[in-house]
Chains A and B, each alone.
Chain A
């Protein structure tokens, strides 16, 4: 078990990692917000290139969160706060201007410097700069909000010890809820903005081209938001464990981040391929499904009645009938409706997935709504139609459960049979044995066991209570031609199995000769019919 020093180190390690990742993720989320803002700006100023804002805002948000932590004890009531923030914004504006010059070219810088002497404010704070500075300010404010909530979720050892000693525990769940609200509100806003932008491009007509990032930034934002949700859950649990003085494994934080990332990325890849529109309507899908089912049932009936039909056609031919089976056509499964471009089956499948997802979402929404309002659900059940539906649902669930159990049992039995075939038990099936790899003693034993096995297959099984000599007598009685060989092989086996005498290769050769003769005799016995076999 970990010592107190290891515990503390592990706790700090996890805390540091979580803090770094939290701030990185939050900054990336703000970058997605900036993408949405720039997309809106592109509607108003199509030629404007402000891609440089993305990395700048990422760094800016990190800086904002860092300074928020540094100014932890100061508020806007302190004069130092104004000094700090004022100098901070001077630096931010100057850096922003420099970045703009770097992107637009240093010629612009030289041209502007000439104008500063005449009208500094208008030339420095031009329209583009004001817009960009405004966006930077929004990002800066939002980063502060994130930092405030994330800082509230943190809990280093000293803080937790203070909470424990004072009995005043920080309500981290409430802080997390605030963070979720912030994520949701921002997410809703950028979703709305991006959707609005898509609508604008749709209204402009087919010649208008939507920007390539349309929608992707929203997905990335929510992906990162879910990651942050996971990390804040880790923060809450970490604080809970810290307060209870429960040591945490040093790798827990790293694994948490890894599992969350892998899980979310895998899900994202999956949901990206899911259809978001349909080309075949719901009723059409149901119609196709029903037609498919009818066609399948017809086919099954035909297969069962085919022998009878064949017989009837023969009789018909005998009595001069003209109809034959050649004129018969089996039922055909109707093809799907003609889609709007693309392979018909793929479109049908995509539409099917879409409708299933939609119906599932709707159904689950109703289910959860009723779960939250049990009284309403109780009242609804008193309605006979609803009650009948519920009972039908229960019956269907039971039926499906039964099918699943049967299928599972059949599958398990099949797998077991396969396993037995691959790994047979001794006597049930013999795999390939390389005789050269066996020692002389093992070879003698092998030949004896081969004799027992073949003898069992030929009607002279060895009972468990029989000694080798007793079995030898029984076998000799049934196969008198090879009496001496059976006796000799048994003797050699007893010596090899139960003594420590050396078994020479010559003796193995002798045993092998015995075995060859016995095998030939046993093979001949296959042709024998009747006769009594003594046990």
Chain B
């Protein structure tokens, strides 16, 4: 479109030269000024554009997240027209898409407020914000400005659990236990008369002085529940038909168990063979499995686990048995392994048996349909591993009572 101006200027110049008309030069000046200043204005005003997106980057399932998007023009020159388009992912329900054409004055700003709803767990890009602008006359090509996306993490569903019978051999914890071998000297249950053979360290001298007979302290048994969740997200180990549902159910169970354990002020860790889109692999652009999270306590640690569970994806990676063999050496003695896997094969049971010999205990929680389930159950019974199959969320009612 701007090509006609140079030609037209040439024609005017010819008229000016041939007919000695001075005023034509003024017209030529006008066209040249419009041509160059119009383009300069467009480039300059776009260079002053900036944007800012403000929202809470984490949300729980079905939570509404208000987002405030502010676009500012730092330049004194107004932006004649600006086409803005905010790309939003399909997984986040939005009332209406953000796409509009506006005009921004010099030092002007505009703010858009919209609400996202996390209906599905995941790691969603909010944006990018695409902005197009151009000059008033269409002489220059349009300018594009891209504001990079921010990300919203939607945590998986967490089902509140009340009573989950998990075995533990970690003494000196804060949870009550039946086995007297886990007596905790800091938790005094009561007193009784001294019997020959009792250690003198257990004598309660104050009671002895009061009663006139030797009294010894009784200690309450307690355990610590150090837990490591092993979540299998190797796509090849899932049944093709129920792959998606079963893997999502496993993630929900993992999140619920982690939440329950942290609620008891116990430590929990996470190891999984799924892929985290935030982590790059050996092949550029290929995601890799996240590093296992060692057992720790606290809400902050729980948030870290939930972050990974929000992002983690099913992928063809490596068997869970390999992960168990690799990671159990780092776990402290007495840790309970919670194995969430739909595929219970020989290699897995071997790994778990080795883990038991190292002082760890294991609980099998297959989520979704399991091939040869009866064989797997009998094997688990043989090894003494508790097994709780979860086919749907309703099966978790067992632990909600």
Contact = CB atoms under 8 A, between A and B. Distances in A.
Interface string A346-377: 00000000000100010011001000000000
B33 A270 contact: yes
Contact of A357 (B9, B29, B38): B29
Q: How large is the interface on A (under 10, 10 to 19, 20 to 34, 35 or more residues)?
A: 35 or more
B26 A274 contact: yes
Given A191-B12, A195-B19, A368-B6, A226 B103 contact: no
A249 B15 contact: no
B100 A195 contact: no
Interface stretch (B76-84, B248-256, B259-267): B76-84
Contacts of A256: 80-81, 103, 136
A248 B99 CA distance: 9
A440 B133 CA distance: 58
Contacts of B33: 267, 270-271
B166 interface: no
A202 B97 CA distance: 66
Interface stretch (A117-125, A133-141, A228-236): A228-236
A248 B15 contact: no
Given A219-B30, A233-B138, A241 B101 contact: yes
21 contacts: A188-B12, A192-B19, A194-B21, A194-B23, A195-B20, A199-B20, A214-B23, A219-B23, A229-B138, A233-B136, A236-B138, A247-B101, A249-B101, A252-B81, A252-B101, A252-B103, A263-B38, A271-B33, A272-B26, A274-B26, A364-B32
A188 to B, nearest CB: 6
Given A233-B138, A255-B80, A260-B136, A276 B26 contact: yes
B24 interface: yes
Contacts of B114: 1
A276 B100 contact: no
Contacts of A233: 136-138
Interface of B: 1, 4, 6, 8-13, 15-16, 19-34, 37-38, 41, 78, 80-81, 83, 85, 95-103, 112, 114, 134, 136-138
Contact of A218 (B8, B23, B96): B23
Interface in A187-225: 188, 191-192, 194-196, 198-199, 202, 214-215, 218-219, 222-223
Given A246-B100, A255-B78, A276-B25, 18 more contacts: A1-B97, A180-B4, A188-B12, A191-B12, A194-B23, A195-B20, A215-B26, A218-B24, A226-B137, A233-B138, A246-B85, A249-B100, A256-B136, A263-B37, A271-B33, A274-B25, A361-B28, A368-B6
Instruction: State the 3 A-B residue pairs at the shortest beta-carbon distance, nearest first.
Output: A215-B23, A195-B21, A195-B19
A415 interface: no
A251 B10 contact: no
Nearest to B19: A195
Contacts of A357: 29
Given A233-B137, A246-B99, A202 B28 contact: no
B101 A198 contact: no
